[in-house]
Amino acid sequence: MSTLTDTLTRYYGYTTFRPGQEMIIQAIIDGRDALGIMPTGGGKSLCYQIPALEMKGVTLVISPLISLMKDQVDGLLSMGVKAGFLTSQLSLDEQNQTIRQAIAGDLNLLYVSPERLMNEYFLSRLKRMNVNLIAVDEAHCISQWGHDFRPSYQAIPEVRNHCSTYPPFAAFTATATQKVQEDIINKLQLEKPYHYTASFDRPNLTFSIVHPKKKNTKLTELLKDKESSIIYCNTRRNVERVHTHLNKKGFNAAYYHAGLTAEERNQNQEDFLYDKSPIIVATNAFGMGIDKSNVRRVIHYNMPLDMESYYQEAGRAGRDGAPSEAILFYSSQDIITNNLLIEQGNHPHAKDNLNTIISYCKTGRCLRKTILEYFDEYPSYQSCDNCSNCNGEAELVDVTESCQKILSCIYRMNQQYGMGLVADVLRGKETTRIKSLSFDELSTHGLMKNVSETEIKDIIALMVSEQFLQVGGDQYPILTFTEKSVELLHAKHKLYMIKQQKETVKAKQTFSEEYDEKLFEELRTLRKEIAAEIGKPPFVVFTDKALMSMASQMPRSPEEFLAVHGVGEAKLEKYGDAFIDLISSYAK
């Protein structure tokens, strides 16, 4: 066993590295700059934590969120690694004590925010530390093309000049196109970096597009109160509506958005991390760097604005490698709303980004393959057998003729009205408003009377996404023609739409071992009790995947327990007796 593998097993309880990890680690130890693009749950943090254990001195980790630092440090301390962090939430005495530890060589890792690098006092103390590596987490934030640009990241390149050791840089992120990767290298001034891009594939995730008639009804069907889940909404208002709905239905759910006070956000986040509230409803302000490994389900209640955001957020499910779900609710109203927001904004790439995610929602191809190809990865298979399209839950339907009817109706309504009224005219409604405008006399009135309002709106939304219609208007979204409209009207183009066969979402069981589910639940209860005693989130004690392995292998001795996935020497010493006793009693 190599020294690196020995360190991996001793601290982390794993016997083998994931693809790319060992090569990145070795490059860093050899003094090279490095760039690692690895999906969420792909083991990025281990790539700088092991060099920190192998080299003399302290590794400086630049991390974007206080919650992320705290979670990482809690996890490291539980494994017997010396780690600390500096945040504004610590007192000055606590901050100075941590800095003194780093200077004295009593820390393996020191976590700081990018804003800390603009603090002259900290920079003066940094010169006295033996810094062996500067690791940059969520490195896409430095890129002008990145989906979460953060100006304070611009201070990072200069920090190397404040270190007496001139240490190597290691930058990591989960999702980055080729353009963003090049931008990271340039902006961070990486010098001939060792560059590794892992497969973006997450085999344990089941990807699904769901087109529910009623989102809230579908949501309550999908959620199981014991399973940790994140529900993403596009507005604060939707977050609060969904949160209220779930609590009325008896679900224990927290919520999170930028409109809450810092205290409320921190409390709700803590409740989620500690499994006091297994479900959280949130805007995209929540989640970057949340190191919670046992999230079993991420549901996008509203369509996100781009593929990078979607995959980053979806990837927060199943970080422990156990079977999990990434579910996106698709609705015509989301498309219209997002298009209107883009029309009112000025982001140069927003339209293209939105059209990419809309295409994903309506494609008849394998969803996993579509995602991977966006990130320049081209799998050889046509079907992954683990997404809603490959599982036969959807079919592709030609809607060109329906599009022509809709265009004819919009034309006869003088391109001055929105989706709702257009649908009402096509379905032959005879409301007061329709009669007052004489739309009941149009040749298109009732032309689609046997088609549901939802389906008509879905087709209109598809036409907007494919730029055969556009949304305008200062106060109300009005449908108007584009340069391409006539081509569709004359059938020079064909449009296809995904129709769901069934509204079921079931994760494919990718955990390789059969395990005793009753024992697994008892182990989860024990984990939660221990976590409460030590004041840490349950996943810091053991991941769900580790508990599944215990419920499969039923270890009844320290040697057998150490062989379980995710059990290192420190965790055996801290928690081994309690878990071995429970398993032994259960086995009897």
Assess if residue 267 is contained within a domain: yes
Instruction: Transcribe 488-548 into DSSP letters.
Output: HHTTSS--EEEEES----------SS---HHHHHHHHHHHHHHHHHHTS-HHHH--HHHHH
183 and 266 share one domain: no
347 and 317 share one domain: yes
pLDDT tens per residue across span 337-384: 887 777 776 676 777 888 888 888 877 778 999 999 888 888 888 788
- For residues 31 and 405, what is the distance between their CA atoms, to the nearest angstrom? 65
User: What's the pLDDT at 512?
Assistant: 56
**Quick check: 349 and 177 in contact, CB under 8 A?**
no
Assess if residue 512 is contained within a domain: no
Assess if residue 503 is contained within a domain: no
107 and 230 share one domain: no
User: What's the pLDDT at 497?
Assistant: 78
25 and 169 share one domain: yes
112 and 142 share one domain: yes
What SS3 string covers 193-212? CEEEECCCCCCCEEEEEECC
User: What's the pLDDT at 476?
Assistant: 75
Per-residue pLDDT of the chain (588 residues; tens, 9 = 90+): 468 999 999 898 888 898 899 999 999 999 999 999 987 777 899 999 999 999 999 999 998 877 778 888 988 998 999 999 998 888 999 999 999 999 999 999 999 988 898 889 999 999 999 999 999 988 888 886 666 667 788 889 989 999 999 999 999 998 777 888 999 999 999 999 999 998 889 889 999 998 888 999 999 999 976 789 999 998 899 999 999 999 999 999 999 998 999 889 889 988 998 889 999 999 987 866 567 888 999 999 999 988 888 998 998 999 888 899 999 998 878 888 887 777 776 676 777 888 888 888 877 778 999 999 888 888 888 788 888 888 766 667 889 999 999 999 999 999 999 999 999 999 999 999 999 999 999 999 999 999 999 889 889 988 887 789 988 776 678 999 999 999 898 888 888 777 765 545 444 444 556 889 899 999 999 999 998 898 888 888 888 888 989 999 999 999 999 988 888 888 899 999 999 999 999 988
Assess if residue 324 is contained within a domain: yes
Number of compact structural domains in the chain: 4
CATH for 212: 3.40.50.300
What SS3 string covers 77-123? HHCCCCEEECCCCCCHHHHHHHHHHHHHCCCCEEEECHHHHHCHHHH
387 and 249 share one domain: yes
User: What's the pLDDT at 508?
Assistant: 45
Assess if residue 501 is contained within a domain: no
Neighbours of 471 (CB within 10 A): 23
Helix, strand and coil in the chain, % to nearest 5: 45, 15, 40
User: Is 126 exposed, middle or buried, given 0-12, 13-18 or 19+ CB atoms closer than 10 A?
Assistant: buried
- For residues 317 and 313, what is the distance between their CA atoms, to the nearest angstrom? 8
Q: Quick one: how far is CA 337 from the chain centroid?
A: 22
283 and 235 share one domain: yes
User: What's the pLDDT at 310?
Assistant: 92
- Torsion over CA of 412, 413, 419 and 423, rounded to 10 degrees? -60
- For residues 576 and 565, what is the distance between their CA atoms, to the nearest angstrom? 13
539 and 524 share one domain: yes
Domain termination site, one of 140, 162, 197: 197
CATH for 447: 1.10.10.10
Identify the CA nearest to 291 among candidates 570, 41, 9: 41
547 and 487 share one domain: no
SS3 (DSSP) at 42:
coil
371 and 294 share one domain: yes
Phi, psi of 59 (to 5 degrees): -95, 125
Query: Can you give the residue range of the structural domain that contains 407?
Result: 400-494
417 and 370 share one domain: no
Domain termination site, one of 197, 219, 245: 197
266 and 415 share one domain: no
Owner of token pair 């610590």? 90
Point out which residues pair with 479 in neighbouring strands.
471
- For residues 450 and 432, what is the distance between their CA atoms, to the nearest angstrom? 21
Assess if residue 508 is contained within a domain: no
Identify the CA nearest to 587 among candidates 532, 522, 529, 539: 522
Owner of token pair 């046992």? 294
Assess if residue 499 is contained within a domain: no
Identify the CA nearest to 287 among candidates 170, 156, 184, 148: 148
- For residues 20 and 24, what is the distance between their CA atoms, to the nearest angstrom? 6
How far, in Å, are 267, 320, 485, 556 from residue 365 at the CA level?
Answer: 42, 28, 26, 47
- For residues 276 and 254, what is the distance between their CA atoms, to the nearest angstrom? 9
Identify the CA nearest to 308 among candidates 340, 341, 349: 349
Domain termination site, one of 335, 364, 393: 393
- Eight-state DSSP code of residue 18: P
CATH for 528: 1.10.150.80
What's the pTM? 0.70
Two tokens at 239?
Answer: 């977050």
